[in-house]
Amino acid sequence: MKTLVWLFLALVCMALGAVLYVLLCTQACPWACCWSPVQWGSPAASTALRFQGYIRVPDGKPLERALCRRCAMVSSSGQMLGSRLGQAIDGEECVLRMNHAPTAGYEEDVGTRSTIRVVSHTSVPLLLRNPRYFFQQSQDTLYIIWGPPKKMNREKVGPTYQVLLKVMQMYPHLQIYTLTDEKMTYCDDVFQNETGKNRLKSGSYLSTGWFTMVLAMELCEQIYVFGMVSDSYCREKNQSSVPYHYFEKGQLDECRMYLMHERARQAGHRFITEKTIFSRWAKRKNIIFTHPSWAGG
């Protein structure tokens, strides 16, 4: 009889725990509850998985590929200049790059491999300036293009999507995917959950770094971030001056760009805010800020 009573109490406790878990998830939406589609500690990385929210040009098939055990997420920051980290970056299983950041001429610092390149709709024309480099020499690179619906709409053939169709006609071997409207909304919702601010009402633009980190957290079991400074770096007295992009020497200073956007009332990329969020994520995920080296928290 006592055994039955204890069994009943155990079942009641398990049920109450499950209810409490669901209630906490719906209120706070922590990553352990609502991050999708792949959870950490997933099965063998060699198993092909379907990633919701990324669809292929032009047939609309969802992205399917294996997880990466270790990823190098390479920033386009001038912090990479003189780092001599190219060999370390190329040594990781998967390498994620952003927009039109080149490797040619910077191999010693940023490496040569590009597994995935996440590209803003505004940077697509910059890829087209050097199609031989991006589309012929980098045949194995998978491209993820993000942008607002008016630019990326498939039914009404938005201007950026129209360009992507032409690129696929010229280079049919390419792997080009776009984010669905639902995925774009999801990324906005994550920003609002983390900051308490509506992205549109606060005049904020998400950066390519944001979309790359979202993808990396879904794709990679461990993320090594190269070239990303901390959220406090630009307010330090002894911070070094580097160009905003490593391949655009003599252009605007990185910290000036970050602070200008952070203070902008409209149309500002909240680079520093994003880094604050990445820092929090690093406490719960396998994210290591390798160069410059700093701890999330």
Give me the pLDDT at residue 156, please: 85
Give me the pLDDT at residue 296, please: 63
- Average predicted confidence (pLDDT) for the chain: 87
Give me the pLDDT at residue 9, please: 54
Q: pTM (2 decimals)?
A: 0.84
Q: How many CA atoms lie within 13 A of 198 on its CB side?
A: 2
Is the Cα dihedral 118, 121, 122, 127 positive or negative? positive
Give me the pLDDT at residue 251, please: 72
Give me the pLDDT at residue 137, please: 79
Indicate the pLDDT class of residue 22, thresholds 50, 70 and 90.
Answer: very low
What's the average model confidence in pLDDT over 13-39?
Answer: 43
What's the average model confidence in pLDDT over 238-244?
Answer: 90
Residue closest to 227 by CA, chosen among 82, 68, 115: 82
Q: Could you give phi then psi for residue 202, rounded to 5 degrees?
A: -90, 5
36 has pLDDT over 50: no
Domains and CATH numbers, the chain: 48-291 (3.90.1480.20)
Judge contact between 116 and 87, C-beta under 8 A: no
Indicate the pLDDT class of residue 28, thresholds 50, 70 and 90.
Answer: very low
Give me the pLDDT at residue 237, please: 81
Judge contact between 26 and 18, C-beta under 8 A: no
What's the average model confidence in pLDDT over 56-76?
Answer: 97
Look at 28-32, 56-60, 175-179 and tell me which has the smallest mean pLDDT.
28-32
Q: Is 215 in a helix, a strand, or coil?
A: helix
95 has pLDDT over 70: yes
